[in-house]
Structure 1
Amino acid sequence: MFIPSAYAQTAGGAAGASGIASFLSLAPLFLVFIIFYFLMIRPQQRRVKQLQMAIQAVKKGDQIVTAGGIVGRVTKVEDAYVEAEIAANTRVRVVKATIAEVVNPLAKPAND
């Protein structure tokens, strides 16, 4: 006799609290997404934007590194291509989108 009435009270009380319980169960997922955004996604977007700006500002004499690992000095800049000298009298045309890094010639090496 006591069990059916207790079951009825629990079912009625749970119906009102189910919205809050579902929100509280999803809250940690939202919190993790916010943390990932500020610690991983946002800094990566900033690095990509800086790289794109450096690629657009590349000029003759800059040292570049391609995505394939080829290091060269820029000898000619076009709209979509860059001509880079990778050895004495050896020049290659490189697509600007494949430039992975524009090396700052004024930077000192870490071991000097």
Structure 2
Amino acid sequence: MFITPAYAQDAAGAAGIMTSGLVPMILIVAIMYFLMIRPQQKRLKEHKAMVEALRRGDQVVTQGGILGKVSKVQDDGILEVEIADGVKVKVMRATISQVLSKTEPAASA
């Protein structure tokens, strides 16, 4: 006699309400992945490939805005960059933000 419709619902009705709240959450996560996470991973992959392809003679820009020419490439992730005549600095490979001009690979004989 005093039973409200909320108490009279069966278990199937409660499960429908639960899944209707779950679908928008899944959509939000999917949209976040495709709009934010995936492009960032692609950008990181491209940057890693660019840094790995650095060689002597390349014109580069560091994250600090320093322009220079790579004069020496070391195996431990350090580059020697000439920023002026006779002025060479050592920088980490990861701090290179852009390669302005690439040198041609040496012709193999």
SS in 2 for 1:17: helix
Classify the secondary structure of the residue corresponding to 1:91.
strand
Q: Following TM superposition, by how much is the alpha carbon of 1:50 offset from its aligned partner in structure 2, in angstroms?
A: 0.7
The residue aligned with 1:81 is: 78
Structure 2 counterpart of 1:57:
53
Identity of aligned residues (%): 40
User: Which structure has the highest helix share of the two?
Assistant: 1
- Unaligned 5+ segments in structure 2 are 104-109
1:48 to 44, 53, 72: 44
- 5+ residue gaps in structure 1? 107-112
Return the offset for 1:94: 0.5
**Paired residues, what number?**
102
Query: In 1, are the aligned partners of 2:79 and 2:90 still within 8 Å (CA)?
Result: yes
Question: 1:75, CA displacement in angstroms?
Answer: 0.7
Residue 93 (structure 1) aligned with residue 90 (structure 2) = yes
The alpha-carbon deviation at position 63 of structure 1 amounts to 1.5
Deviation at 1:51, TM superposition (A): 0.5
CA-CA distance at 1:16 after TM superposition? 2.8
Match for 1:70: what amino acid? I
Aligned residue identity for 1:17: G
> What TM-score do you get using the length of structure 2 for normalisation?
0.80
Q: Deviations over 1:70-111 (max 9, x none)?
A: 1211111011110111112211011112222222459xxxxx
1:38 counterpart = 2:34: yes
